Amino acid sequence: MYRVLLVDDEPIVLETLSKIIPWNTLGCELIGTARNGMDAFNKICDDYPDIVITDIKMPVLSGLELIEKAKKLDVDINFVILSGYDDFSFAQTAMKFGVKYYNLKPVRKEDLIAVLEKAVSELNSRELARLSHERQLIDSLKLPLIKSFLFDACNSPSLTDKAVKNYINLLGFPESNVSCCICTYLEPEFFTMFQAEFCLLQKRHSIPVLWPAFYVTNSFVFLYTAYSLSIQEMLRQFVCSRQYPKQQTELECQFLAFNNSTSAFREIIRKVSRYHTIWIINGTQKPEPVGSASLFTSEIKTEEIKKISTEYEITQFLNDTFDSAMDVESSILQCIRLFFSCSSTTSTLGFGSSSLFLR
């Protein structure tokens, strides 16, 4: 539901529009009204509306002045202007501030509904674009996220469920119906062929594999969403039917079911953490080796974050956390770990976590 603020110095206009517009049907929620521009600006600061329907001529602060001030605060607010003046100069000024919707009074119900439908459609498109960009960004950070997760999980046996859930949410994994498939006796020289065949199977049958997967000594481990037992049987048949030249042992597979992704990831980490090198597999992309050396970054001391209270302490902490000789990949990994460390301490921090991460 998009939040709407209604602004007009005429009480009858506020009362009438509040009642005649089918807000819920339009996907909107009327969060309040205001009778002058300054009152409206204060409510914008406090309530963060998505759409503001405003008159032009109002006491204290005009509609155009309100738009100018509000756009400096939040450029994404959609304004709908209601005006009793058919003056092109008003429209020109409004357009300068990015306003697209200008209605003359008296406002017809149908006209305002049509304008709100356009505004909602624009907000929907903007939200879809934002989510797409966010997903692309997360996808580009998937490997560093997994590396960060591996580091924290392997080196912090007491890693909290909250921290695990933060990683899982960013990776876009579901909360439930998660199963694990462990393919064993898959020798390294056959892995490339197996990977290509497995990705083809997944694509052909839309198997909901939760990438990335992991390969450790002779074992391919991955999670998938278990909608039905037929998926498990299909995977079993696929694995057991693989035969490669000079393969010494037949492939086998084991299935584990979990109530949630947190439990699933904890079990996978427990299984792979004892190996010196973990290969991260993301679809058909070339496997990324993650060894103990590449996982090494300086320890983030969560207890010290809680004590930070000044700009000087922030600077000192960052200097201690980031080595000047650290490469880009290690720096990205350390940033992600620092973010999760700050997130896990927000409930007890005042100054520390938010200011630290903004730096």
Residue matched to tokens 């997903």: 135
What span, in angstroms and rounded, lies between the C-alpha atoms of 186 and 247? Answer: 9
How far apart are the C-alpha atoms of 280 and 245, rounded to whole Å? Answer: 25
> Which residue type occupies 227?
Y
CB atoms within 10 A of CB 353: 22
pLDDT of 8: 94
- Given a cut of 90, is residue 122 above it in pLDDT? yes
Compute and round to an integer the Cα radius of gyration of the chain: 28
79, 52 Cβ separation under 8 angstroms:
yes
**Mean pLDDT, residues 144-152:** 74
Q: With cut-offs at 50, 70 and 90, classify the pLDDT of residue 295.
A: very low
Tokens for 335, please give them: 């940033």
Q: Which domains does the chain have, with CATH numbers?
A: 2-129 (3.40.50.2300), 149-291 (3.30.70), 302-358 (no CATH)
H-only helix segments in 33-184 = 37-47, 63-73, 88-96, 109-140, 142-155, 161-171
Check whether 326 has a pLDDT greater than 70. Answer: no
Task: Please report, for residues 7, 49, 60, 226, 262, the alpha-carbon distance to residue 151 in angstroms, rounded to integers and kept in the order given.
Answer: 53, 41, 57, 28, 16
Neighbouring residues of 107: CB distance < 8 A, sequence distance ≥ 6: 17, 82
Q: What is the largest CA-CA distance in the chain?
A: 87
Q: What is the pLDDT of residue 354?
A: 39
Mean pLDDT score across all residues of the chain = 82
pLDDT, tens digit, for every residue of 152-165?
Answer: 676 665 667 777 78
d(CA 78, CA 294): 47
Q: Which residues contact 229 (CB under 8 A, 6 or more apart)?
A: none
Mean pLDDT throughout 279-306?
68
Q: CA 306, CA 313: separation in Å to the nearest integer? A: 11
Element (H, E) at 259: none
The pTM (predicted TM-score) of the whole model is: 0.54
Residues 183-200, mean pLDDT to the nearest whole number: 94
Which pLDDT value is given to residue 339? 65
